[in-house]
Amino acid sequence: MCWKKILIVVLLSAYVPLFGATGFCDTENTAFGPGEKVYYDAYYNWKFIWLNAGKVTFTVDEAKWRGKPAYFMKSIGVTQRGYDRLFRVRDTFEVYVDPLKLTPFEYRQITNEGSYSASHHYIFNEDNRSIRTNISRENSPFELSFIDWPECTFDILSMIYKARNIDFSKYKKNDKIPITMIIDGEIHNLYIRYLGKEVARNRDGRRFNCLKFSPLLVEGTIFSAGEDMTVWVTDDKNRVPIVVEAKILIGSVKAVFTHAEGLRHPLTSEIKR
């Protein structure tokens, strides 16, 4: 397994399967609020052993963007200290969004993985429906470009939170739900498959009533194309992911919920002992 990818794979996979639903762009946020913090352990499977490789956190705060009210969303992925000597990872994803519609204003992604570094910066222009992308990889000069911004297209972090407001009750098992987002400076049209309801556990043995999904993945250096990822999210008003499992080209990875602070609603999906 390429250690520099473990945390970014978990971060990106943790919420991808929730995206998209016809008409969801006009929905207003009722799932979360400022002050929310959600924490995950990241694991890599090596010869039937799950190794605790790192930590991933998601936070939401009130902010201003160019004078406008905004939410500032941030996710950080880091390797455990014991793995830093093998491969040190410090990845940051952050975005400013409209507090009601969660439409993105500005997105940044900073990647520091061993000797590799990269930076992605997007500015979303609602007037002319364009995205200004500025990307640097492996210390190369920044490349500036402008691409069309299709309706109902989000960056990965704003989509994470937007999708938590989707009403999944109208979908049946095996229904496909279309998704559109910008990844690595390109627009991707994908889908997720709803797999019904199931109980999921975290590493502490806590059990949750969950909704289960599998997404169509983009073929690349980590994933094969297909539906080799499964996600369980709480079947309550919070829609918090509990477990994410994904097969990769060598082995598999998993993100597991540990705890949360400042949830907007009670975690009623948890099954009490």
113 pLDDT tier (thresholds 50, 70, 90): confident
In the prediction, which pLDDT does 222 show?
A: 37
> Mean pLDDT, to the nearest integer, of 95-111?
94
Kindly tell me if the per-residue pLDDT of 108 is higher than 90: yes
Task: Express each pLDDT in 119-131 by its tens digit.
Answer: 999 999 999 999 9
Q: How confident is the model over 142-163, as pLDDT tens digits?
A: 999 999 999 989 898 998 888 7
Mean pLDDT taken over the chain: 83
Instruction: For 148-193, give the DSSP string.
Output: E--TT-EEHHHHHHHGGG--GGG--TT-EEEEEEEETTEEEEEEEE
SS3 146: strand
Rounded Cα distance, 228 and 219, in Å: 11
Question: Among 6-15, 64-73, 133-142, 256-265, whose mean pLDDT is lowest?
Answer: 6-15
What does the pLDDT look like over 190-230, one tens digit per residue?
777 889 999 999 999 999 999 998 876 544 433 344 446 78
| CA dist 4 → 76, 196, 238 (Å) | 14, 33, 31
- Spacing of C-alpha 225 from chain mean position: 18
**CB of 55 within 8 A of CB of 41?**
yes
Q: What's the confidence (pLDDT) of residue 5? A: 45
Whether the CB-CB separation of 3 and 89 falls below 8 Å is answered with: yes
The phi and psi torsions of 101 (rounded to 5 degrees) equal -85, -15
Rounded distance between C-alpha atoms, residue 77 and residue 137, angstroms: 18
Phi/psi of residue 26, each to 5°?
A: -85, -5
What confidence score (pLDDT) does residue 9 get? 47
What pLDDT sits at residue 85? 74
Which of residues 264 and 253 earns the better pLDDT score? 264
pLDDT of res. 249 = 58
